[in-house]
Amino acid sequence: MKTHITLPENARILVIKMAGIGDLLLATPTLRALRETYPHAQIDLLVTPASAGLLDGWEVINRVIVLDKYLFDYPQQLLTRP
**pLDDT band of 6, cuts 50, 70, 90:** confident
Domain 12-80 superfamily per CATH? Glycogen Phosphorylase B; (3.40.50.2000)
Picking from 8, 7, 36, 27, the residue whose alpha carbon sits closest to that of residue 46 is 27
Q: What is the model's pLDDT at position 4?
A: 74
What is the residue type of 64? V
Distance in angstroms (rounded) separating the CA atoms of residues 12 and 42: 5
Tell me the sheet residues that pair with 38: none
Distance in angstroms (rounded) separating the CA atoms of residues 47 and 66: 5
Kindly report, residue by residue over 28-81, the tens digit of the pLDDT. Answer: 999 999 999 999 999 999 998 888 888 888 999 999 999 887 766 666 666 666
- Domain borders along the chain are 12-80
Q: What phi and psi, each to the nearest 5 degrees, are found at residue 33?
A: -65, -35
- Rounded to two decimals, the pTM is 0.76
